[in-house]
Amino acid sequence: MAVFDDLIGQDQAVAVLSRAAAAAKEVVEGGRGAGMTHAWLFTGPPGSGREDAARAFAAALLCPDGGCGHCDQCHQVFVGSHPDLESVRPQGLSYSVKQTRELILRAAGAPTQGRWRVILFEDADRATESAANALLKAIEEPPPRTVWLLCAPAPDDMMITIRSRCRVVNLTTPAAEAVAHVLATRDSVPPEVARFAARAAQGHVSRARALALDEGVRRRREAVLSIPRSLTGVGECVSAAERLVKTAEEEAAVATAALNESETAELRKLYGEGSTGKGLNRGLVRGGAGALKELEDRQKSRATRIKRDSLDSALLELVSFYRDVLAMQFGAGVELANDDLRFDLDQLAKASTPEETLRRIDAIMQCRERLAANVNPQMAVEAMMLALRS
């Protein structure tokens, strides 16, 4: 089905989902629909497209033709306005039990269009333990036409009681070649740029697209990957740490600003501002101000999460650099993620031993762990830089 065309290199998952979509259609038409399941868990490494796969499946369930990709229903699913699709994304660092209970109530309603009621829960692993328990109850006794689509990095990220009640769809990292092909054919990226971006993004489709199309993203990558050669003294390590934290903050600020602006404008419109050109509609002023404050709080907590995520992805970029160094030291004939930096890689490969490279990769991984445990970013990254140097 057309809605699955965008799932690059996921043939196995697409086969499972297509069969389930056909079974779901049978159920809607009054048949038995063996093979349809009410709870699904989409897993896969970052960039493998868990949410994209879940969304495509939602379209296949809600489209009268099983996911044609061009009807109103399909379109509404992809722009996020379908009345029977509830898309949930934790705004902060975790998802609370209160939010989950509200969601479960909404999930219980009958589908307005007579097909399914679909709940797409992104980053379901961020549900708190009590939220997960509430979720478990909802999954155990689903209303006949409700389908849960949970997304998480790995099956282990979910409580075993939830996992065991879900059908797991595991997505894999697509090959760089497949990603490059899509960038070239669908986004009209010149083949050479497409190949570079796909390699550098290591199978992360949206990251590859951003690298290919956005010069700012390419510049930030260069800044991160110039770090290893700049670590000549203690002072340089400290300033490299500052630069890295700042680069991540800048990237997060760009992403956050774009999200915040459209949300705030939407909320203001909802409460009547702009419709008369005279500020907030009188009767709604109080509610509007409260909702705006609540939105601002949510945005603040999301900004923290985006900042942390973008620093983490910079660190993963550094890992890919040292992994390339290691591959050269071992003479492994694998494709290098950072082939454009061959000169730097080669120099470091000759000037150090594989043991040192492994130790450096360890230092980066340790830094990631510290950041996940809420250590001050500047301090954690400084310690890492010093370890990378020595």
Interaction site with Zn ion (CB under 5 A): 63, 68, 71, 74
Shortest approach of Zn ion to residue 110 CB, angstroms?
21
How far is it, in rounded angstroms, from Cα 330 to Cα 239? 31
CB of 63 to Zn ion, least distance (A): 3
Conformational region of residue 378, where left means phi above 0, alpha means psi within -120 to 50, and beta covers everything else: alpha
Strand (E) or helix (H) holding 330: none
User: Other C-beta atoms within 10 Å of 208: how many?
Assistant: 29
Q: Least distance to Zn ion from the beta carbon of 60, Å?
A: 8
Dihedral of alpha carbons 46, 51, 57, 60, sign: negative
**CB closest to Zn ion, residue no:** 63
Provide, rounded to whole angstroms, the least separation between the CB of residue 71 and Zn ion.
3
Amino acid of residue 71: C
User: What is the Cα–Cα distance from 288 to 359, expressed in whole angstroms?
Assistant: 54
Q: How far is the CB of 62 from Zn ion (least distance, A)?
A: 8
Burial 21-52 (b: 16+ CB within 10 A, else e): bebbbebbeeeeeeebebbbbbbbebbbbbbb
**Of the two residues 63 and 227, which places its CB atom closer to Zn ion in the complex?**
63
Determine the Cα–Cα distance for residues 321 and 199; give it in Å rounded to an integer: 12
Least distance to Zn ion, CB of residue 59, Å: 7
Please report how close the Cβ of residue 74 comes to Zn ion at its closest, in angstroms: 3
Give, for 146, the enclosing helix (H) or strand (E): strand 146-152
Measured from the CB atom, is 77 or 385 closer to Zn ion? 77
Residue 71 or 284 having the CB closest to Zn ion:
71
Task: For Zn ion, give the closer residue by CB, 56 or 367.
Answer: 56
Closer Cβ to Zn ion, 63 or 244, answer by number:
63
**Nearer Cβ to Zn ion, position 1 or 201?**
1
CB-nearer residue toward Zn ion: 65 or 340: 65
Contact 119, 86 (CB under 8 A): yes
Name, in order, each residue with C-beta under 8 angstroms of 12's C-beta and a sequence gap of 6 or more: none
* CB atoms closer than 10 angstroms to residue 336: 19
CA distance 293 to 134: 27
CB of 28 to Zn ion, least distance (A): 14
CB closer to Zn ion, 52 vs 123? 52
* Closer residue to Zn ion in complex, CB, 68/136: 68
d(CA 16, CA 4): 11
Please report how close the Cβ of residue 92 comes to Zn ion at its closest, in angstroms.
34
The residue type found at 127 is: A
